[in-house]
Amino acid sequence: MVGTPINGRTRLSFGAVNGGHDLGPSSAPPSNAGSDYGIIEFTREDVEALLNEKAKRKDRFNYKERCENMMDYIKRLKVCIRWFQDLEISYSLEQEKLKSSLELAQQKCTEIELLLKIKEEELNSIIVEMRRNCTSLQEKLVKEESEKTAAAESHLKEREARLNFERSQSTLQEDLGRAQRELQSANQKISSLNDMYKRLQDYITSLQQYNGKLHSELSTVENELKRVEKEKATVLESLTMLKGQLTLSMASQEEATKQKDALASEVTSLRVELQHARDDRDHQLSQAQTLTSELEKSKDSTEKSCSELNKLTLRTNELEAKCALQDERIKVLQEQLTTAEEKLQVCDISASETRIEYEGQQKLVHELQRRLADAENKVIEGEKLRKELHNNILELKGNIRVFCRVRPLLPDEGSSTEGKIISYPTSMEASGRGIELTQNGQKHSFTYDKVFAPDASQEEVFIEISQLVQSALDGYKVCIFAYGQTGSGKTYTMMGRPGHPEEKGLIPRSLEQIFQTKQSQQPQGWKYEMQVSMLEIYNETIRDLLSTNKSSSEGTPTRVENGTPGKQYTIKHDANGNTHVSDLTVVDVQSVKEVAFLLNQAANSRSVGKTQMNEQSSRSHFVFTLRLYGVNESTDQQAQGILNLIDLAGSERLSRSGSTGDRLKETQAINKSLSSLSDVIFALAKKEDHIPFRNSKLTYLLQPCLGGDSKTLMFVNISPDQASAGESLCSLRFASRVNACEIGTPRCHTSGRPVESRLTYF
């Protein structure tokens, strides 16, 4: 079947598997497989020629030559497969190398990212510290500049006050000289004023009173001068109060100047009065003495002001020196800031270089990931081609294909990982095909054509057998049967769950595919007739599930309840390998709905019962048969195919099932028929001359599937429950023996003229 169009699709060529490129000596590793042929390399044309090669039949009755040609063809296929295995190993090694290089690149990128982050953090901390220092220095600079400006302003004000004081001192000296000159002129006039002395006595008294008043004012002035001295002392303590103290000192000096001006005006008035009074001389002398004392006091205050001015000058010089030091420090900090900025630029450059290197590493990682994905795709395509070639060899050998399906754990069985007995290998060769069962600490490994995990859906399972179902339309005999212990999911696999369309089993889905294909092939000139029959083998008795004659009542099923009372259904095989069941009901069908109705009718008639292992346990072997007869009116081609779908009863141990009475008889009959099936498989595996097909009705009915030209597939259903580990191990071992059996090459039943018998069973 491999290498020929199936269901309107063709298998991909080897060039398509390798991405559209032919494999030459440079792209494929040398293969040492097949020592008879030496080192052989294959191209796409070689593989296509090998797959499309047809047997040369010079003499159709020369079986020896045909066998030799077939063995030679199988040897070449083995060489090709071994070459593909070597190629797959090289791809696996390359994939591992790419993965290791990818991991190294990712690790290097991670280290670079960490170094980059550390450098960025260091640079950020340095920048933050530099900014803090710069901010503090700027604040200090602003503060010192403000202090320097204030000191300069106070120095200017002190200088102006000193100049003003010197000017006032010079005016006082001029006034004193003028007063002395006037005193001399007054002495000259004393003689003329002696006569007026008496008249002026009263006036002198009044002047004395006025003089006392002046003395009191003078004392107040002295107190004011003392207060000014105290304020000057406070100026020495604090520079910030210097401006106010100088202002007060200037105000006091202005008041003294005003007082001096008032005294001068009084002296002027006295001059006028002394012209009339001789005794005014003494008063003028006292006034001169007072003015002299005031002058001395003014000199003392001037000296104090000069000392204070010198101190302020020294303070200003100190502030100027401090400002110069601050300027130098600011320059040093500016240089440090410039150096830090240069370092920051260097770090930015190194960071950009690191970022560029990181981007380059990322591009390298992406390239490695792309190459890894390409390699994985090539490995997957090579695996697909290997499976096709493997299936081709199995068909040529005639092996029975075996699929294994593990059902999920039930709620009452628990889901703890401690009791997990089923595992799946992850290697490339065993992925999807291997299963491991652990019992009593010992691990048992098995490999089949396909293994379905508990999470596999009904649709995924059907996709794997869809091409096998298509073979029935192409004119092949196809047989699919489910084997396993009670409660392992056989009926669910074959029939599905009623009322849940998404969980339909293999039988409903196969019928849907067949009717859809029938509809699609009508434009090509094909017309099909289809017939359905269903039976069960209950207690080694064949029962017709589609019989309309029923005289049954509820209770334990017997042979009379279903089917005509007294009918004996016998199995017969003819010389062409066809099987007939006498008196079996065969119904013509035209649609899926008709078949679904018949399936429902058969399900209601089938023998089921309750045991300790299953609420609804199938107590019989159920056989569904769909016979197809196709005619192509345009090409005069005819095809006769048969699809057999079988749900075997579950094997069980009496100690676990707890069967008694009728259930005990049913269990014994089921185990006997399954034991007979096992004997047949062992005999086929050992290639014995005598195969015990007649030991049970089941094996005799399955004889064309197990020892004829049929395409046969067995589903082995197992339970992941720890309590069922022994039964599951037995089922897996039996499935391995079945997979090793060679039953013959499948034969397509097509011809260019009418087929004589259309009602053969198998």
Please tell me the predicted confidence (pLDDT) of residue 759. Answer: 39
The pLDDT mean for the chain works out to 76
Q: Is residue 603 within 8 Å of residue 595, measured between CB atoms?
A: no
Give the pLDDT score at 103: 87
How far apart are the C-alpha atoms of 549 and 541, rounded to whole Å? 17
Reading the block at residue 431, the tokens are 């992925």
pLDDT-derived band at 508 (thresholds 50, 70, 90) equals very high
- CA-closest candidate to residue 507, choices 469, 475, 470, 451: 469
Residue 673's nearest CA partner among 518, 530, 542 is 542
Top-confidence residue, 747 or 17: 747
Q: How far apart are CA 271 and CA 573, in angstroms?
A: 176
CA distance 86 to 675: 41
Band (pLDDT 50/70/90 cuts) for residue 186 is low
Query: Binding site membership: which residues?
Result: 484-491
Q: Of 624 and 2, which is predicted with more confidence?
A: 624
> What tokens were used for 378?
């090539």
Annotated binding site for ATP: 484-491
164 within 8 A of 250, measured Cβ to Cβ: yes
CB atoms within 10 A of CB 286: 14
Percent pLDDT > 90 in the chain is: 11
Q: How many CB atoms lie within 10 A of CB 596?
A: 16
101-113: per-residue pLDDT in tens?
Answer: 888 888 888 888 8
Give dist(CA 124, CA 344) in Å, integer.
9
Q: How confident is the model at residue 554 (pLDDT cuts 50, 70, 90)?
A: very low
The answer on pLDDT for 280 being more than 70 is: no
Distance CA 491, CA 117 (A): 61
Block residue for tokens 């005990």:
664
Between CA 652 and CA 322 the distance in angstroms is: 107
pLDDT in tens, 112-129: 888 888 888 888 888 888
The closest of 642, 243, 649 to 478, measured between CA atoms, is 642
Pairing of strands 711-718, 401-406: parallel
How confident is residue 551, by pLDDT bands cut at 50, 70 and 90? very low
Q: Classify residue 343 by burial, with Cβ atoms within 10 Å: 0-12, 13-18, 19+.
A: middle
The percent of residues in the chain predicted with pLDDT above 70, rounded, is 74
Question: Averaged over 452-481, what is the pLDDT?
Answer: 89
pLDDT of the residue at 649: 85
CA distances from 641 to 334, 522, 530, 702 (A): 98, 17, 10, 16
Query: Within a 13 Å sphere around the CA of 601, how many CA atoms are in the beta-carbon half?
Result: 19
**pLDDT of 355 higher than 70:** yes
pLDDT (mean) for 270-294: 69
d(CA 660, CA 670): 14
Cα–Cα distances in angstroms (integers) from residue 503 to residues 453, 495, 615, in the given order: 16, 9, 20
The 8 Å CB, 24+ separation contacts for 373-376 are 374/19, 375/91, 375/94, 375/95, 375/98, 376/95
Q: How far is CA 501 from the centre of its chain?
A: 35
Please compute the mean of the pLDDT values over residues 534-546 and round it to a whole number.
89
Give yes or no for residue 415 having a pLDDT over 90.
no
Three-state SS for 261? Answer: helix
**Is the pLDDT confidence value at 44 over 50?**
yes
- State the Cα–Cα distance between residues 103 and 715, nearest whole angstrom: 41
639/746 Cα distance (integer angstroms): 14
CA gap 666, 649 in Å, rounded = 10
Tokens of 296: 């001395």
pLDDT at res. 398:
58
List Cα–Cα distances, 135 to 128, 146, 147, 333, 733, in angstroms.
10, 16, 18, 11, 84
pTM of the model: 0.51
**CB 543, CB 620: distance < 8 Å:** yes
Report d(CA 96, CA 715) in Å as an integer: 35
Overall size of the chain counted in residues: 762
Is residue 9's pLDDT more than 60? no
